[in-house]
Chains A and B, each alone.
Chain A
């Protein structure tokens, strides 16, 4: 799995990256989690509020911190 956390580096964005990383390592999923802080790239995904999460190239969360349950649901797919 390839996960990108979009956010210019505010508190909620850090939180999002942490939750995603924690949940995935707890579930033992092999995934690449990348933080994207470059505004140009963020805009390229078409999101207008951060933090946002892109899972395997698809924008999955916009403008909120996902819960662990949300993160696990991406794994099942």
Chain B
């Protein structure tokens, strides 16, 4: 299980920036054209999506006849799974990333900070976790963002709620979980991920850890941006949605295909319950073990899904797998190294401890419920 270092090496991707100079809107096509174009694409999307199953079945049948395999055999079931699931998940991903790209154009880090500054702690934790899911964020901006928050009056615990939710609950994770495991798993993941971010952030706030920030943090006179942010036009927002699709879908599609290929293999070949003895409900130690293995690992949602699918498909328990996935995405060694520049080791230890405990509880609760 090689940790995959891919999205996190990014830094301010094309779609989430704001230009303070005016040039971006020069020579633009009118909004009506963008709206018309988007509507046509949406209708085409809907038509394709609703007819995907019969089309995939048809293609699989033709394929089976040419290549000469039985549709109900191992290979046949694996291939028909792949031919249907790949376009389905990629189409869903494209639509959701487009939508989220437009939503994100409303939430720059600067605006999120303005919303969070001066909020009471409990309300702040809830808001921060929710905003974390829609504010553009990448881990190499984690330190500037952290400083920007803390030095302008966002409480430490609220800042942590944001930092936990931002990588963990995102559109890629939710769409992939929905596409491959159904809406229940996606909803559980989103709900518990947000809950962990809110409660862990609140706990860190209660523990009064401010003295464990590096001393130089307090010496910073964080400047504020000299110029006012220009309100974006709708044309720009739609364009940002399109850019998000190009940027994100363009980057994660190989992982998605790999994930579905792994899933297809499991679907066709692996006997049910293969993993049940190691990662099943009866093995109580599997939840803490999964979290411990997951913490130093470093991957984004798209990279971890193939592994999740393999584990679930072979009979691992849902709670154990969710705990593993969350600890891989939310806590990672490289992130700790980056945060070490602003946090003293004690605070990093508390951060890992509190979030890890939350993930552990989620694992046990879901193994108990399902």
Contact = CB atoms under 8 A, between A and B. Distances in A.
Given A8-B140, A63-B141, A65-B14, A46 B225 contact: yes
B231 interface: no
Contact of B16 (A46, A49, A61, A69): A49
A39 interface: yes
A17 B123 CA distance: 40
B10 A10 contact: yes
Contact of A44 (B21, B223, B225): B223
A49 B223 contact: no
A11 B10 CA distance: 7
A50 B18 contact: no
Nearest to A41: B220
A50 B13 CA distance: 9
Interface string A33-47: 000000110111111
B216 interface: yes
Given A48-B113, A50-B141, A64-B16, A12 B11 contact: yes
B73 interface: no
A73 B304 CA distance: 42
A19 interface: no
Interface residues of A, number: 32
B21 A73 contact: yes
Contacts of B110: 48, 62
Contact of A49 (B12, B222, B341): B12
Given A12-B10, A43-B147, A44-B223, A49 B20 contact: no
A55 B276 CA distance: 60
Given A59-B225, A64-B19, A74-B21, A50 B113 contact: no
A40 B220 contact: yes
Given A49-B17, A50-B140, A13 B11 contact: yes
B226 A58 contact: yes
Contacts of B149: 48
B227 interface: yes
Given A10-B9, A46-B222, A63-B17, A40 B144 contact: no
B224 interface: yes
Nearest to A61: B19
A64 B341 contact: no
B11 A62 contact: no
Interface of A: 7-8, 10-13, 39-40, 42-52, 58-66, 69-70, 73-74
Q: 5 shortest A-B CB distances, which residue pairs?
A: A64-B17, A10-B11, A48-B148, A46-B223, A63-B12
